[in-house]
């Protein structure tokens, strides 16, 4: 009989809140999960940014090569110092005027817009001319032969973004 009375007085519905041990265990589990998840999220965000960066580099470099090929193929006049490469990145957006087979004036554009460098958040890219040294960080200004990021940060592979 005594056992039944004890069970009636120990009713679980009368308990309010959590015990301190339960709170400590929950906080420890959440903290452990956060410690594991935060670096994974940071890495995935950085990886996504690097993918956008690679696409932007490829898009601009392809446009520069297309410009050069188009100028040489269509025998468009260019300054000998430029070697047929664009004078700046803006000309890839504005386009160049040429005459088609019917001698009709047309404009050929190579980019819709200059892509943003996701590493710096601007559309200002470092530029190298055909006459510059490969690792030069100073643009000679004769033409645009290559581009690079102005970011000083390193990628997931340990190389600097400016060297990509």
> How much is the pLDDT for 11?
55
Measured at the CA of 135, the angle between CA 133 and CA 141, to 5 degrees, comes to 55
- Would you list the domain boundaries of the chain? 19-150
> How much is the pLDDT for 116?
95
What is the token pair recorded at 68?
Answer: 């050069």
Sequence-separated (6 or more) residues with CB below 8 Å from residue 93: 109, 110, 111, 112, 113, 114
> How much is the pLDDT for 13?
56
Tens-digit pLDDT string for the chain (164 aa): 555 555 555 555 556 778 999 999 999 999 999 888 888 888 999 999 999 999 999 999 999 999 999 999 988 888 888 899 999 999 999 999 988 888 899 999 999 999 999 999 999 999 999 988 877 888 888 899 999 999 999 999 999 999 99
What's the pTM?
A: 0.76
d(CA 49, CA 120): 11
d(CA 51, CA 120): 14
> How much is the pLDDT for 79?
83
> How much is the pLDDT for 67?
96
């Amino acid at each position: 009989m005594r056992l039944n009375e004890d069970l009636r007085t120990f009713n679980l519905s009368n308990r309010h809140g959590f015990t301190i041990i339960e709170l400590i265990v929950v906080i420890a589990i959440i903290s452990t999960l956060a410690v594991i998840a935060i670096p994974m999220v940071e890495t995935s965000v950085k990886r996504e940014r690097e993918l956008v960066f690679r696409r932007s580099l490829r898009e601009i470099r392809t446009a520069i090569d297309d410009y050069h090929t188009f100028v040489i193929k269509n025998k468009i006049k260019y300054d000998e110092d430029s070697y047929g490469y664009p004078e700046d990145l803006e000309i890839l957006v504005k386009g160049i005027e040429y005459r088609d087979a019917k001698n009709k004036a047309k404009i050929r554009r190579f980019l819709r817009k200059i892509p943003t460098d996701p590493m710096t958040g601007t559309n200002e890219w470092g530029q190298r001319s055909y006459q510059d040294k490969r690792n030069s960080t100073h643009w000679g200004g004769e033409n645009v032969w290559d581009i690079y990021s102005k970011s000083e940060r390193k990628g997931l592979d340990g190389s600097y973004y400016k060297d990509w």
